[in-house]
Chains A and B, each alone.
Chain A
């Protein structure tokens, strides 16, 4: 990426009509030995300040690749972005120079990764790694930067932060490590925080604490948050809206309330029904039939049709557009009405 057309950094402040972050018709593909893998095929979503968007999908659905494209941390090559825009405060990040992009990364848009143990550098202390943000981006002295690091560790509620600032990542528990990861990502008050499966590697009880922490930090700073997960349960309490991804596309957009009550896409419906529920104890648990699509060899028509209980003949040939159901809802299913009504064809 050596585009130098617009080197202007998007300014902070008034947004006008522009959302904080808007992904528009994004396509990402990977060149592999076996052929071109189309990991993301026309994804669009937007995010406002203080808003939480949950992106839901199984592995290979393109949810993480989209996030990495926003961050600009895809390996290019093999990755390529043939089409699409990622507008941050109105400026298309994809058109920025490498240098300008680096200025956005970490400072304006930050990311929390899934596995904090492997995502933190094993040979530097956590204090060093957090304070690096201040030293490099803010030109702070070593001492000031360390003090800021301790402050942040306090903020994410790491006990005895001042004593632990010189410890190494492997000396912390999984939950504490993820807190450090979070501290590092919010260090420079980013406007957008992308959390990629932030709790997947953690115990259930710790998961709740981390989600709570993220929600709290977000309330304080009014940052927009993209929460990437495959776990519907994680999403319910914190997300404002949900985008469900399947085979590199968004198949349903909805508010949290709507999606739990009346899913409008058979895939979402399947996901919901496969969550164990106390009130349905004793009944057989639903499982979506078949396997996730092979990205090298996508099914024709609707990517979900081989697994879909609502399938009709045209699903095999026509890829459904994202049908608008209401102002905030849309579904990429020809038969979303039937899905909403609960009639299985």
Chain B
């Protein structure tokens, strides 16, 4: 999170390559077909999908997992603060005597919503600009590329911290985190999309389509996009994990999700003062946070390996 997925995945993800030398062309259908066949046999992929499915259910219907509504102040008893696990409260109680288990379950929603929204926004903004820059070239490309360089010069946790610290009183709720992360993160998607489009642009069938007089938008969306979308999906999945981690960090620092809303980062921040005597209120959200990030990064890793067999 803090030290970014910015460099790592970006360097290892490359434009889609034909799977194996024996294949003669890299049509998306066969690329995805092969990738999916490959994925179904990877335990990492299956495990991450199961975890993500559980997390999605948890974030949309948390009450399936717990009968306690943590937003209801009546469920907290100050007198029982930091009590260990008991029958009704399997994860124990936090510093305000609230049920840690229920809060942890309800915390999934903000993580997932922030992670997914940020990913969608960066994929759309970065992806479209990257497609445009890569397909058009020329001045459009130069200008957008220069602009992204500026964003790359700002460590994204710091940039996001600055934005959310500045606007934390603007009552934007969790969306301030989404905005802060998206503003800093879209250039990663941009760069990958642009590189992939430029690779695709020189492939014969694209040149042919252009020579046959296909319109600009037809070339862009019909030919270039489908052939460049794979690495963007990989980076998006891996970044999703990074965004969830970053959300927790910002909330922990006090500039992300604000109380009384629930976030794992916020729970960790609340529990840290008495952490050495009562570690459980910190450990449970920490474990859930780690597993969630792990699930998305595992998924991204698996998809990348399947799409890019060269790196195996």
Contacts and interface: CB of A to CB of B under 8 A. Distances in A.
Answer whether A and B touch in the complex at a CB cut-off of 8 Å: yes
Interface of A: 33-34, 296
Contacts of B22: 34, 296
Interface residues of B, number: 2
B20 interface: yes
A296 B22 CA distance: 10
Contacts of A33: 20
4 contacts: A33-B20, A34-B20, A34-B22, A296-B22
Interface string B1-39: 000000000000000000010100000000000000000
A46 to B, nearest CB: 33
A298 to B, nearest CB: 15
A34 B20 CA distance: 9
A33 B20 CA distance: 9
B127 to A, nearest CB: 32
Nearest to B22: A34
Nearest to B309: A33
A294 B20 CA distance: 15
**Nearest 3 A/B pairs, CB to CB:** A34-B22, A33-B20, A34-B20
A196 to B, nearest CB: 20
Contacts of B20: 33-34
Contacts of A296: 22
B37 to A, nearest CB: 13
Nearest to A296: B22
B308 to A, nearest CB: 15
Contacts of A34: 20, 22
A296 B21 CA distance: 13
A62 to B, nearest CB: 17
A73 to B, nearest CB: 20
A239 B22 CA distance: 35
A33 B37 CA distance: 15
A296 B20 CA distance: 14
Nearest to A34: B22
Nearest to A294: B22
Interface in B18-75: 20, 22
B288 to A, nearest CB: 39
B309 to A, nearest CB: 9
A34 B21 CA distance: 10
A79 to B, nearest CB: 16
B227 to A, nearest CB: 24
A34 B22 CA distance: 9
B183 to A, nearest CB: 39
